[in-house]
Structure 1
Amino acid sequence: MALLKYEESNWERLGNLIYRKHMHGLRVTVAQFKLLKGSVVKPHSHTHEQVSIVVKGRLRFTVDNEVYIAEPGDVVHIPPNTIHSVEALEDSLVIDVYSPIRDDWLRGEDRYLRE
């Protein structure tokens, strides 16, 4: 068993306005992202299915040219190999679940989050 504690201060800083914590299971990766107002995750795609759950704030998701404003309690599904991006309209917290695991992150191939 593993426990990913929200309150602990060991958030990974990916950029000026983006912070992440994550853990990997056998078949899924779960990530918590703090996206501060004005932060942008640039358009990208990956082979992983993604489900994003907004816990706090407001986010503008663009998924395959469709735009969604997501608020607390909203869930966004992003199919594999689909171009998507997100912009934080407010300081936000989102939980992302990926399947299969984000082996690209394990290899350090997450530059799109760090630029």
Structure 2
Amino acid sequence: MTLFKYEDVNWEKLGELIYRKHMHGSRLTIAQFKLLKGSVVNAHSHTHEQVSIVISGKLRFVVNNETYIAGSGDVVYIPPNAVHGVEALEDSLIVDVYSPIRDDWLRGEDKYLRS
């Protein structure tokens, strides 16, 4: 067993309004995102299966041209290779789980998140 403590991980500033913390297991990545009101993650796709859990706030997800407004307690499933993006309608905290691990992040290939 491994115990991860998010409070021991510093927020990584990806843009003026987007912050991330992430940890990796052998087959999955778990990340916390702080998306401040007005922030936008542009439409993109990846081979990873993704589950986004809204802890607080309100977000507009667009997944394969379908729009969803998600709030605290909502879960959004994003299948592999689906084109998706998100806009923060309020200051929001989300937890994302990806499988397999986000090796693209480990290689620094996450320009779509950075402004």
- Segments of 4+ in structure 1 off by > 4 A? none
In the TM superposition, residue 59 of structure 1 has moved relative to its aligned partner by: 0.3
Q: TM-score, normalised by structure 1?
A: 0.96
SS of match in other structure, 1:87: strand
Question: Amino acid of the residue matched to residue 84 of structure 2?
Answer: H
Percent pairwise identity: 73
- Is the 2:6–2:21 Cα contact (8 Å) retained in structure 1? no
Aligned residue number for residue 41 of structure 1:
41
Aligned residue number for residue 98 of structure 1:
98
Q: Distance in 2 between matches of 1:4 and 1:51?
A: 20
What is the number of residues matched between the two proteins?
Answer: 114
Q: Distance in 2 between matches of 1:112 and 1:83?
A: 12
Unpaired segments ≥5 residues, structure 1: none
Unpaired segments ≥5 residues, structure 2: none
> CA RMSD of the aligned region, Å?
1.1
In the TM superposition, residue 2 of structure 1 has moved relative to its aligned partner by: 3.3
Q: Distance in 2 between matches of 1:70 and 1:23?
A: 24
- Is the 2:51–2:96 Cα contact (8 Å) retained in structure 1? yes
In the TM superposition, residue 4 of structure 1 has moved relative to its aligned partner by: 3.1
Q: TM-score, normalised by structure 2?
A: 0.96
Question: Amino acid of the residue matched to residue 103 of structure 2?
Answer: D
Question: Amino acid of the residue matched to residue 42 of structure 1?
Answer: N
Q: Are 2:62 and 1:62 equivalent residues in the alignment?
A: yes
Q: Distance in 1 between matches of 2:84 and 2:16?
A: 21
